[in-house]
Structure 1
Amino acid sequence: MLVAFSVAPSGTGHDDGSVHDAVAAAVKVVRDSGLPNQTDSMFTTIEGDWDEVFAVVKQATEAVAAFGSRVSLVLKADIRPGYSGELTAKVERLEAALDELTP
């Protein structure tokens, strides 16, 4: 399973709205988990089974909670039993398809 998630605090009291310290705390939890993961400017994606992935999402959310009075969590999951390595394989298939479209 792949789970892409974004977690951020609100009610931080910071005038500039920056949440990078809180996001860093969440990403550290993900990276320390040992699960395959990837972070971009909007989401962090983790690969693993249901229980291990959602345990990490919960821990990351708890890490962010220390930075504000509320937490916003957005999730998207790709549940495909019997497949692993999809964090990179899906992108490789996409790139191959794009190559076929290029004259």
Structure 2
Amino acid sequence: MNVMIDICIVPLGVGVSVSEYVTACQRVLKEAGLTHQMHAYGTNVEGDWDEVMAAVKRCHEVVHEMGAPRITTSMRLGTRIDREQSMDDKIQSVKVKLG
């Protein structure tokens, strides 16, 4: 089953700037071969459920390996079985309606 997620992984106890941790997670998603789009407060990811969840787990592992003693993650996810739909499809649908 495919899934789309919006995820925000926040390392705690590492100071104010988290860009190096975001970069590490972006690398994990790229290495996993998952379609993803970073935005200002998180990342949208799409792909096979097990592959996406494995990448989320790997992001946590990597961020901990970088020294973060604690991580808080918020995630919204959605699945659809009536038809295939990508993140780009959803965005384009709105853009068309905007004119």
User: How far has the Cα of 1:96 moved from its partner?
Assistant: 0.7
Whole-Å separation in 2 of the counterparts to 1:20 and 1:47 = 22
| 1:97 has 2:97 as partner | yes
Correspondence for 1:5: 7
Q: State the percentage of identical aligned residues.
A: 28
- Larger strand fraction of residues: 2
Alignment of 1:1-103 (within 5 A): 1-12=3-14, 14=15, 17-65=16-64, 66-81=66-81, 83-99=83-99
Normalised TM-score (structure 1): 0.85
SS in structure 2 of the partner of residue 28 of structure 1: helix
Structure 1 unaligned regions, length at least 5: none
User: How far has the Cα of 1:84 moved from its partner?
Assistant: 3.7
8 A contact 1:22–1:67 mirrored in 2: no
Letter in 1 for 2:62: A
What do the CA deviations read for 1:10-68 (whole angstroms, capped 9, x no partner)?
112x3xx1111111111110111111111111111111121111011111121112331
Whole-Å separation in 2 of the counterparts to 1:59 and 1:4 = 16
**The structure with more radius of gyration:** 1
8 A contact 1:5–1:75 mirrored in 2: yes
